[in-house]
Chain A
Amino acid sequence: MVREAFDRKLASIREDVLKMGSYAKDCVLLSMQSLKEQNLELVEKICKIEEESDLLNFNVEERCLKLAALQQPVARDMRFIATMINISGNFERICDLAVKITEITRKTIGRPLLKPLIDIPRMAETVGEMLDIDLEAIAQQRSVAAEELAKRDDFIDSLYQQVYNELLTFMMKDPRSIDDATDLLFVAIYLERIGDIVAKTGARVIYMVEGKRVWIK
């Protein structure tokens, strides 16, 4: 088959981007677990995964740019390479945001959280589901179901609003809770942002496969 070597390089990039996707999912779910359990070991594990994600992102980008320069890809190949650069950056950003959650875990070690975590872990689980949708589509080289992503992203947004309202109530009732409430609010913000990133990733997958530009809201 023609261009076998080129196709192998594209497949290898896809595998590494899938690896980054699984790093992103691990980081999000472990960051939630580390916060609930106040587990510093998990925090260290997340930071290590984030470092690997950084290196892999750089490597993926470098390989994509090299292929663009040397192979002059067009059509599907060009869309694939452009998308892989974009998605790889997205997954690396998700790991960064998960590390920010671990900074809050470190801050809260040794003292109880302001309130039991209920909605915030649900946000993280939903992010995990969205990542699964994206990763499956990338692995199978097919488009994503945009409505499935949009539904879940909307759900995350609504949970964020609930968390925000609840924490605001805490802060208004007792100003001494502002510091702790703000910490949890930041966790919710990071998860809401991660949800947006994963939705945008899905939109890029649609572009890669179908050549169509969509917005997933």
Chain B
Amino acid sequence: MEVKISVQGLNAWFGSKQALKDISLDILEKKITAIIGPSGCGKSTLIRCLNRMHEVVPGARVSGKVLLNGKNIYEGDVDPVDIRRRVGMVFQKPNPFPTMSVYENVAAGLLLNGIRDKNRLSEIVEKSLKQAALLEEVKHELHKSGASLSGGQQQRLCIARALAVEPEVILMDEPCSDLDPIATVKIEDLITELKREYTVVIVTHNMQQAARVSDYTAFLYLGKLIEYDDTARLFEKPQKELTERYITGRFG
């Protein structure tokens, strides 16, 4: 199995507050890796370090390495914008561009990257919406506002938007937290499909979700990586007592 992203000795700060402490783990290609842990443990900070989103926060900094296909994304010659295209992100709250149509939402990244040919744009928009399991629901309403869709549809639109620019990795920060159970199931099914072509890293508060969809699970606590293992093994027989206490709900 190939390593897609190798995190090596990663530390992250918000000003003087250290949010991540010496994190090292390998994220495998075309697998789904879940990151779990209590609130404030550094889950979102970790994934934001994987596509250089952490540094946009004033006062934020990192040390250590994040190797994407063997190259450290924090080296001086790396373009962070390119990294954010290759390592796309989907957020907790669906955030389609409110003034744009469904079509325009998906095409936005392509236009920014200089693709102008209308046929090419339509082809990619259709492909992305299909990959995001949304095409059938919106194919006759591509010019409707993205904001007019339901919550679950909006989230799939955001996924389509990320897919349109042909990422290698998709980061998802609690993608189902704001969704109802039916929409959640659809997103989870989609995530399982996406790993055929993409590497997926998902932060989730929902341990059952992590158990359902992921191949590997990393447990973070107070900024440290406590345990990282095959999901089935971690949920059947965790190696660390702290992991056992957290996943069995006996924290506190």
Q: CB distance A75 to B247 under 8 Å?
A: yes
- Residues of B close to A73: CB separation below 8 A: 248
- Residues of A close to B247: CB separation below 8 A: 74-75
Q: CB distance B250 to A2 under 8 Å?
A: yes
- Residues of B close to A79: CB separation below 8 A: 236-237
- Residues of B close to A171: CB separation below 8 A: none
A8 to chain B, nearest CB (A): 14
- Residues of B close to A78: CB separation below 8 A: 235-236
Q: CB distance A76 to B244 under 8 Å?
A: yes
Q: CB distance A3 to B250 under 8 Å?
A: yes
Whether, in the assembled complex, B238 has its beta carbon less than 8 Å from a beta carbon of chain A, the answer is yes
Q: CB distance A74 to B250 under 8 Å?
A: no
Whether, in the assembled complex, B138 has its beta carbon less than 8 Å from a beta carbon of chain A, the answer is no
Whether, in the assembled complex, A77 has its beta carbon less than 8 Å from a beta carbon of chain B, the answer is yes
Q: Which of B208, B235, B251 contacts A75 (CB 8 A)?
A: B235
Cα distance A198–B236 in the bound complex, in angstroms: 24
Closest 6 CB pairs of A and B: A211-B237, A74-B235, A74-B247, A72-B208, A75-B244, A3-B249
Binding site for A on B (CB under 8 A): 207-208, 211, 235-238, 244, 247-252
For the A-B complex with A6-B249, A75-B235 known, give 19 more contacts whose Cβ atoms are closer than 8 Å: A1-B250, A2-B249, A2-B250, A2-B252, A3-B248, A3-B250, A74-B207, A74-B211, A74-B236, A74-B248, A75-B236, A75-B244, A75-B248, A76-B244, A76-B248, A78-B236, A79-B236, A79-B237, A211-B236
